[in-house]
Amino acid sequence: MVTFYDTQQEARRDAAARALREKVVCFVTRAGLGGPELLVFDHVPDGGAGVQVVAGGVEPGETPERAATRELHEESGLSLTHPTFLTSYLWEAQLPERFTRQVCHAYALTAPDGTPDTWAHLAEGRYTFRFRWAPLHAPGLEWEMDAALPHLDQLLHKELQA
């Protein structure tokens, strides 16, 4: 279940008051021939965790914005700056092994020209992620990682109008 906050400050206060984990979700986009594309990855070799976008925890003393750029670099190898805040939300889910409740902060980033179409990256020396581009309108994300996609659509629409 996903519940959106009005502001990031409200989300951070709620996370602190309830001792909830804060997480960032990174939506990296590029212009594709058929419309906007979203950077997604599959786990190698099994792909058992489903299609995901870069995400990870906010470390103590770290801002969500900084966590977004750090996680993006650690998980994909991309060094992008100036993430655009989209929204914050409470994510609650019954996973197979446990119940989870965490506050997520979603950010948008734009891939530079020349970003490869596909690549594999070894994250934390133990996970291999195979990156690819998926149509933004149907990326096939798991774990409710698509919760903030309407906010990303709004941002991209505003950018096109400008």
Instruction: Kindly report the average pLDDT of the chain as a whole number.
Output: 93
**pLDDT digits over 103-146, tens only?**
999 999 999 999 999 999 998 888 899 999 999 999 999 888 99
Torsion over CA: 35, 40, 46, 49 (sign): negative
Which among 28, 31, 30, 54 has a CA at the least distance from the CA of 41?
54
Which range is least confidently modeled, 35-49, 74-88, 94-108? 35-49
Side-chain-side CA neighbours of residue 133 (13 Å): 17
**Confidence band, pLDDT 50/70/90 cuts, at residue 49:** confident
H-helix or E-strand containing 13? Answer: helix 8-18
Rounded to whole angstroms, the Cα distance separating 42 from 12 reads 29
Residue, of 123 and 60, whose pLDDT is higher: 60
pLDDT for res 79: 96
Per-residue burial over 57-87, b if 16 or more Cβ lie within 10 Å, else e, is: ebeeeeebbebbbebbeebbebebeebebbb
| pLDDT tens digits, one per residue of 64-88 | 999 999 999 999 999 999 999 999 9
Under 8 Å between Cβ of 88 and 4: yes
Is the pTM higher than 0.85? The answer reads: yes
Averaged pLDDT, 88-110: 93
